[in-house]
Chains A and B, each alone.
Chain A
Amino acid sequence: MWVYILKRFLVAIPMILIMALATFLLMGSTPGNYLDTIRMDPQVSEETIGYYQHLYKLDRPLLEQFFYWIKNLLRLEFGYSFHYNVPVTRIISARLLNTFILSFASFVLTWAVAIPLGIWAAVHRNQWIDRLIQLFSYIFLSLPSFFIAMILLYWASQTGVLPLGGMYGPDYDQLTLLGKIGDILTHLAIPTVALSIGSIAALQRIMRGNMLEALGQKYILTARAKGLPENKVVYHHALRNAINPLITLLGYEFSSLLSGAALIEIICSWPGLGSLMLTAVRSKDIYLVMTSMLMGGVLFIIGNLLADILLVKVDPRIRYD
């Protein structure tokens, strides 16, 4: 299995690079780069621009620029952010962590709510509680996450219960460790909920379907014929089988959360990779864009690999050779 995972990882690397090249060429081929923007600034001298141009080989052909960037990548140098005026590495790690926190929180919330809800709906199939859950999941599935975020922020502004965006309160630095965690958690609440509601609705439906399918299987009959009590039949025999197919979704789910997180980050001003990328895109900060995208891809691959490993652990029928 480890060979398989290693293989998947190795296959992914050239794919990421090709994608990076494509983006790089696309971005580079459009007129205007970051230096053109600062050239407008009369305070920045022509020498400074020349210096940067030379340093990052911006005066060289695009392909050469790209390979220079790749070469630096191997030394874990991601280039220089013109907008923030620091190496990309310096900004990106904190942002990466923040995005991870948001995605992970939303991931946990989604699964913690959707799985029991799906089971509940399946067990009470076609009863009013099931219909209610299905109705709401239709509605939440169709509500844009950014709209939910806006409404929640508005609600927060009216009641003052939760902070309005950002990640830290103004007195964050004076708080104790526990207080700091609490502060981040209160800031985390709105973006997490906004991000999760849609995926809860979607995952709940899948879970319900899987559960219904599992409950219709022969082994459920066997379990009942053995004299097992109903809760054991449902929560042990059916559940284990209904959960397994979801694990393949796990990686996908995580990446879609990551993608959705970007937009929510922007709206809730959460200092993550997504809002960073927006700034970078707006200011044509090419290395920052490249690195953000690269990190997004890497997070996705890691999510998928974790799902693969987990699947092997829980489903005895699956073997990777």
Chain B
Amino acid sequence: MINNNRHHSQFQLALQRFRGNKTAMACVFILGFLYFSAVFAEFLSPYSYKDEQRQYSYCPPTPVHFFDQGRLTWPYVYGLQLSFNEFYKREYVTDVNTKYRVKLFASGESYKLLGLIPTRVHLLGVESPGRIYLLGADSRGRDIFSRLIFGGRVSLSIGLIGVLISFTIGLLIGGAAGYYGGRVDNYLMRLCEMVIMFPGFYLLLALRSAVPDDFNSVQVYFAIILILSFIGWASLARIIRGMCLSLREREYVLAAKSLGVNDFHIITQHILPHTLSYSIFAVMLSIPGYILGESALSLIGLGIQDPFASWGNMLSDAMSIVRIKFAPWILWPAFFIFLTVICFNIIGNVLRDCLDPNLKGN
């Protein structure tokens, strides 16, 4: 009991230090905002992720105007007219004669908020046939802004779920190996090495090839999470094992053992909590791996499939690099990947410094 309390206060102290770090707190807010918008994607996005308007292929971002002939008015956007220039290149001409007011809580495609409440209200919208493309459109005229929000659902959740799975496996296997030692340890560590031995991306591809072709998008999504977790657990298990090897010699573990407490209870109650501070920042620092893994797979067409959006598969548009020139806005997903990854990295590093002040400076 006493032990638990000490841990608790140490943890609170670290949390206090963490709050004092402005950069880290900014990152927490950014991530919080991203996760929030992923949860309320349907409401926050003007259009659905699969709302295609082929005539608006690669339409540039539509500027929102606040002034009309020098006077402040309700924000509006102009209509767009597609035409071809002398080289038969697509050009979008602003039609100054048609204005569409940007409406708050506009009614659009119907959906179920949080999967429960059926509604048609979207935060932003313009009257049809006008379109609002805050960040431009992709090859099929789908709104990149909306798809980014929906894509965040996949990319952001894969990190969390993946890390959850591989940490559970890693903690249990590392804990068991470290606690039992001897032969169990030996076999479990061989198992880890087996996974670590193969370069991650090759393993990723090989495992992906084992996923049946007829899986639907949700199944593929979970398959990818499983694959990424399968690759990720091993290195964690190794480190947890090292910590457990030393922890199991501590008096309170020996005491619990001599009292006949069962092994599972000792591992989960007396040993693993002590690896907590390591685990917490390791979680933060390994989430980017999952996000990048998913993006990479989706980028090369083995991940989330169209029309579903993930930041990775949205970027696959940019794989033909000439498109970057006339539609640079297709690179937005890369920015969001970067933003998420750097936030997790900063939070992880600051957490480590806070949890273990001795490490500071290293």
Interface residues on B, range: 35 or more
A143 at the interface (CB under 8 A from B): yes
Q: Provide the bound-state CA to CA distance between A317 and B190, in Å.
A: 26
A98 at the interface (CB under 8 A from B): no
Contact of A146 with B321 in the complex, beta carbons under 8 Å: no
Given contacts A27-B209, A153-B321, A154-B321, A15 and B190 within 8 Å (CB-CB): yes
A187 at the interface (CB under 8 A from B): no
Contact of A300 with B197 in the complex, beta carbons under 8 Å: yes
Task: Encode contact with A along B188-213: 1 for CB under 8 Å, 0 otherwise.
Answer: 00100111011111110111111111
B102 at the interface (CB under 8 A from A): no
Q: Provide the bound-state CA to CA distance between A18 and B300, in Å.
A: 28
List the 7 shortest-distance A-B pairs measured between CB atoms, nearest first.
Answer: A259-B199, A26-B210, A142-B342, A296-B202, A281-B209, A262-B201, A142-B341
A169 at the interface (CB under 8 A from B): no
Q: Provide the bound-state CA to CA distance between A23 and B299, in Å.
A: 23
Task: Encode contact with B along A200-236: 1 for CB under 8 Å, 0 otherwise.
Answer: 0000000001001100000000000000000000000
Given contacts A15-B197, A158-B325, A301-B197, A144 and B292 within 8 Å (CB-CB): yes
Distance from B319 Cβ to chain A, minimum over Cβ atoms (Å): 7
Distance from A188 Cβ to chain B, minimum over Cβ atoms (Å): 18
A109: which B residues are within 8 A, CB to CB?
none
Contact of B198 with A144 in the complex, beta carbons under 8 Å: no
Q: Provide the bound-state CA to CA distance between A297 and B196, in Å.
A: 9
Contact of A255 with B362 in the complex, beta carbons under 8 Å: no
B324: which A residues are within 8 A, CB to CB?
150, 154
Given contacts A138-B342, A144-B334, A15 and B194 within 8 Å (CB-CB): yes
> Does more than half of chain A's interface fall in helix, strand or loop, or is it mixed?
helix
Give the residue of A138, A164, A273, A277 whose beta carbon is less than 8 angstroms from that of B321. Answer: A164
B205: which A residues are within 8 A, CB to CB?
262, 274, 277-278, 281, 289, 293
Determine the residue in chain B with the shortest Cβ distance to A14: B190
Contact of B322 with A274 in the complex, beta carbons under 8 Å: no
Contact of A147 with B338 in the complex, beta carbons under 8 Å: yes
Q: Provide the bound-state CA to CA distance between A273 and B198, in Å.
A: 13
Give the residue of B197, B211, B302 whose beta carbon is less than 8 angstroms from that of A12. Answer: B197
Distance from B217 Cβ to chain A, minimum over Cβ atoms (Å): 17
Q: Which B84-118 residues sit within 8 Å CB-CB of chain A?
A: none
Given contacts A144-B337, A259-B200, A274-B202, A289 and B209 within 8 Å (CB-CB): yes
Interface residues on A, range: 35 or more
B195: which A residues are within 8 A, CB to CB?
19
Contact of A142 with B209 in the complex, beta carbons under 8 Å: no
Determine the residue in chain A with the shortest Cβ distance to B311: A144
B200: which A residues are within 8 A, CB to CB?
256, 259
Q: Provide the bound-state CA to CA distance between A143 and B341, in Å.
A: 8
Contact of B206 with A262 in the complex, beta carbons under 8 Å: no
Q: Provide the bound-state CA to CA distance between A158 and B201, in Å.
A: 30
A96 at the interface (CB under 8 A from B): no
Determine the residue in chain B with the shortest Cβ distance to A265: B201
Contact of A263 with B300 in the complex, beta carbons under 8 Å: yes
Contact of A300 with B341 in the complex, beta carbons under 8 Å: no
Q: Provide the bound-state CA to CA distance between A280 and B202, in Å.
A: 11
A296: which B residues are within 8 A, CB to CB?
198-199, 202-203
Distance from B340 Cβ to chain A, minimum over Cβ atoms (Å): 9
Distance from A20 Cβ to chain B, minimum over Cβ atoms (Å): 9
Determine the residue in chain A with the shortest Cβ distance to B194: A15
Q: Which B292-312 residues sit within 8 Å CB-CB of chain A?
A: 292, 295-296, 299-300, 302
List, sorted by A's number, 5 A–B pairs whose CB atoms are closer than 8 Å: A11-B190, A26-B207, A150-B321, A282-B302, A297-B198
Q: Which A39-80 residues sit within 8 Å CB-CB of chain B?
A: none
B355 at the interface (CB under 8 A from A): no
Q: Provide the bound-state CA to CA distance between A209 and B211, in Å.
A: 42
Contact of A281 with B321 in the complex, beta carbons under 8 Å: no
B209: which A residues are within 8 A, CB to CB?
27, 280-281, 284, 289
B288 at the interface (CB under 8 A from A): yes
A267 at the interface (CB under 8 A from B): yes
Determine the residue in chain A with the shortest Cβ distance to B288: A142
Q: Provide the bound-state CA to CA distance between A139 and B318, in Å.
A: 21
Q: Provide the bound-state CA to CA distance between A193 and B179, in Å.
A: 44
Distance from B206 Cβ to chain A, minimum over Cβ atoms (Å): 5
B346 at the interface (CB under 8 A from A): yes
Pick from B195, B202, B288, B345 the residue with the most CB of A within 10 Å. Answer: B202
